[in-house]
């Protein structure tokens, strides 16, 4: 079979490999499609943290069909279409150090940019049938992250105001989920076209942060100086202070991103005086993925795909993601079969 691995030049490289054998509680998945996250860029470039990833198959997100099952597999059958979960070790319950280490496509854990993968049945979720393979491939990391942030770390209610920073994968899924849940959405971008697209998807207010660098003050103006209920903080270290300003008293800031850095000067005094909850969100459990799928199914939410690359064009997909031109997800198709 063909797989990509991360080579010692911090690039992905196509290689030939044996189709992996499976354990008793595992399945063999023929991959249909995969999608890219900003984290995958960092991993290939060697700046994601944790152990080096040289020799590892990259990417966490994908969808495939079960071609073989181990002797003790109980819940799944050959022919079913499934996504692997981002962290196979995190089924449900409390997040721990051990569960974190199971994340696919980084360190020594093989990812999904491969024609076949072997994976535990406990790390699989069925995906709603109405989704195409390309759409289904976008769910495991970005969509689950948005779900965790809005509905687990925060308890989003109709009427809440959500602030989204930029129009990357997590933000666009958060936009769609927040609108599905009856919330108000404010979204920022430096690009008017992307803001127009966000508006089409339901965003209530848009802010071009190039033209309005004090976007936090604009958020306060839009919210009658109260601030928002939750910020889905994908920016990271260098947007955090503005997020702390834009969120209301007793509000939530979901720490998700490292786009603008992993450390920065933070006005911690504001966390205290406004009683803000700043909580880390790192993708999520299989349970969250399953819950989210019910929301997708019921509301027929369609993932926003910017561009689909072929398996051989995977390196270009990485380049494209890096360019920041995308709105929504960048997908790599692997197998023609399927829907």
- Closest CB to a second copy among residues 156, 195: 156
- Please state the closest distance from residue 303 (CB atom) to a second copy, in A: 15
Nearer to a second copy, 149 or 333 (CB): 149
Between 277 and 307, CB nearer to a second copy: 277
In angstroms, what is the minimal distance from the CB of 70 to a second copy? 11
Residues 6+ apart with CB under 8 A from 269: none
What is the 3-class SS of 187-227, one letter each residue? EEECCHHHHHHHHHCCCCEEEECCCCCCHHHHHHHHCCCCC
- Smallest separation, CB 316 to a second copy (Å): 29
Residue 144 is inside which H or E element, if any?
helix 144-147
The minimum distance between CB 205 and a second copy, in angstroms, equals 12
CA distance 338 to 81: 9
| Burial category of 134 from C-beta neighbours within 10 Å (exposed 0-12, middle 13-18, buried 19 and up) | buried
Dihedral angle computed from the Cα positions of residues 184, 190, 195 and 196, in that order, rounded to the nearest 10 degrees: 160
CA 271 to chain centroid, in Å, comes to 26
Footprint of a second copy (CB under 8 A): 23-25, 49, 72, 91-97, 100, 151, 155-160, 177, 180-184, 226, 236-237, 240, 248-250, 255-258, 261-282, 285, 287, 291-299
Minimum gap (Å) between residue 85 Cβ and a second copy:
14
In the bound state with a second copy, the residue whose beta carbon lies nearer, of 224 and 323, is 224
Q: Which is nearer to a second copy, 15 or 181 (CB)?
A: 181
């Amino acid at each position: 079979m063909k797989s990509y691995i991360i080579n010692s030049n911090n690039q992905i490289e196509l290689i030939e490999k044996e189709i992996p054998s499976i354990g008793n509680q595992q399945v063999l998945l023929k991959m249909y499609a995969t999608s890219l996250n900003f984290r995958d860029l960092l991993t290939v470039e060697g700046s994601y943290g944790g152990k080096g990833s040289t020799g590892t198959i990259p990417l966490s997100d994908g969808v495939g069909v079960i071609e073989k099952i181990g002797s003790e597999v109980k819940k799944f059958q050959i022919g079913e279409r499934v996504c692997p979960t981002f962290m196979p070790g995190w089924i449900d319950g409390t997040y721990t150090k051990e569960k974190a280490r199971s994340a696919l496509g980084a360190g020594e854990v093989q990812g999904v940019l491969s024609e076949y993968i072997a994976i535990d049945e406990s790390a699989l979720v069925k995906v709603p049938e109405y989704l195409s393979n390309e759409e289904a491939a976008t769910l495991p990391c970005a969509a689950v992250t948005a779900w965790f942030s809005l509905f687990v770390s925060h308890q989003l209610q109709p009427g809440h105001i959500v602030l989204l920073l930029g129009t990357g994968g997590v933000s666009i899924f958060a936009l769609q989920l927040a609108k599905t849940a009856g919330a108000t959405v404010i979204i920022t971008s430096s690009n008017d076209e992307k803001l127009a697209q966000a508006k089409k998807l339901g965003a209530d207010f848009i802010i071009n942060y190039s033209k309005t660098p004090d976007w936090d003050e604009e958020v306060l103006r839009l919210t009658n100086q109260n601030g928002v209920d939750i910020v889905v903080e994908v920016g990271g270290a260098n947007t955090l202070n503005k997020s702390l300003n834009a969120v209301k008293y007793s509000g939530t800031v979901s720490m998700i991103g490292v786009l603008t850095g992993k450390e920065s000067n933070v006005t911690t005094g504001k966390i205290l005086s406004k009683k803000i909850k700043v909580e880390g969100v790192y993708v999520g459990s299989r349970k969250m993925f399953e819950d989210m799928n019910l929301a997708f199914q019921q509301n027929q939410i369609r993932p926003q795909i910017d561009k689909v690359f072929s398996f051989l064009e995977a390196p270009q997909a990485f380049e494209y993601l890096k360019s920041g031109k995308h709105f929504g997800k960048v997908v790599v198709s692997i197998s023609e079969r399927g829907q």
